Structure 1
Amino acid sequence: MANTYTQLYIHIVFSVRGRESLIRKEWKNDLYAYIGGIILSHKSKPLAINGMPDHIHILIGYNPSTPLPALVEEIKTSSNRWIKEHHNVPMFSWQKGYGAFSNSRSSIDKVIRYIAHQEEHHRKKTFREEYLQMLRDFEVEYKNEYLFDFQEILEWS
């Protein structure tokens, strides 16, 4: 793509199937490094990767040469296989779907800090609360039945 220039920042969020707490502290940094390698192999830049035992946040400098759904699918499929093979978690899998939110250049430092401080953040707010807040903040229309396995949301609505 000659003479094509982009500056795209995407914050990606997805969870472990059933929101089970299967991502272990002992190997989460290796997982994040592995995911960073996948992102680099698709000509995007991993800017921040962190999460909790039941979900993950990834901020990338996005190169649109790979469609975003294909990139996220590759991250989920490859990391799922890697976790099973390297950390003996045979029941591990990511939930279907993901959230992807665009960010301006001026907000990148704030998003990086937000991702870096997930443990602090989740002392006050559940993943469900966090994710719904992101959907509201970015004015994303959604249907409860298509959200992650948030059974309490269906009862709450």
Structure 2
Amino acid sequence: MRRNFTQLYVHLVWATWDRLPLITPTICSQIYSVMTYECQQLKCTVVAVGGVEDHVHLLTSFPANVSISRLVKQVKGSVSHCVTRQHQAPKFFKWQGSYAAFTVNHRDLNPIAVYIHNQREHHQHQTTISNWEIPIKEHP
């Protein structure tokens, strides 16, 4: 019996509410762990996860039966729940409603993964790649 074969990758980026620096060092690793766990629940394989204080990047494969919007909704929702309920953050924690999604060729996985893993350095030295980021200001 033959099975369908898909090789689908997406680079996702989303920001905190009003680009506030809500992703503190104390909750950063937990956020990335929850993101990875939720991807696994949807049968997605995380290639890279990273970010800075006001946004995150996620590079993952995804099966054909999972929409990008469902993936983002589940990951963002679970992270918000974890941060607000389990960590009881002193400030509110909220994501912006939108996100950016970029399709990725499997040959480009490594450079994008390296870029994601080095987010702090890219933002500190202003060497970000605008095509792989989201606009600074989202609200009118």
Q: TM-score, normalised by structure 1?
A: 0.79
Cα separation, partners in 2 of 1:118 and 1:104, compared to 1, 3 Å = same
* Letter of the structure 2 residue corresponding to residue 80 of structure 1: S
Contact 1:96 1:148 in 2 (8 A): no
Partners of 1:7 and 1:26 in 2: how far apart? Answer: 35
Aligned to 1:97: 98
- Does 2:37 align with 1:40? no
Cα separation, partners in 2 of 1:135 and 1:115, compared to 1, 3 Å = closer
- Residue deviations 1:42-67, cap 9 Å, x none? 01111111100100000001112211
Superposition deviation, residue 70 in structure 1: 0.9
Aligned to 1:87: 87
Contact 1:95 1:148 in 2 (8 A): no
* Letter of the structure 2 residue corresponding to residue 134 of structure 1: N
Partners of 1:81 and 1:149 in 2: how far apart? Answer: 25
Aligned to 2:131: 134
Aligned to 2:108: 107
Structure 2 residue runs without a partner (length 5+)? none
Cα separation, partners in 2 of 1:119 and 1:148, compared to 1, 3 Å = closer
CA RMSD of aligned residues (A): 2.2
Between the aligned residues of both structures, percent identity stands at 26
Superposition deviation, residue 124 in structure 1: 2.8
* Letter of the structure 1 residue corresponding to residue 131 of structure 2: M
Q: Secondary structure at the match of 1:107?
A: helix
May I ask how many residue pairs the two structures share in their alignment? 137
Q: TM-score, normalised by structure 2?
A: 0.88
Which residues of 2 match residues 67-86 of structure 1 at below 5 A? 67-86=67-86
Superposition deviation, residue 135 in structure 1: 6.7
* Letter of the structure 1 residue corresponding to residue 55 of structure 2: H
Partners of 2:80 and 2:26 in 1: how far apart? Answer: 17
**Moved segments of 4+, more than 3 Å:** 147-151
Partners of 1:86 and 1:96 in 2: how far apart? Answer: 22
Partners of 2:64 and 2:98 in 1: how far apart? Answer: 19
Aligned to 1:55: 55
- Residue deviations 1:67-112, cap 9 Å, x none? 1101101111111111101222251110011000011111101011
Contact 2:27 2:83 in 1 (8 A): no
**Between Structure 1 and Structure 2, which shows a larger proportion of helix residues?**
1
* Letter of the structure 1 residue corresponding to residue 22 of structure 2: L
Greater length-normalized contact order (CA 8 Å, ≥ 6 residues apart)? 2
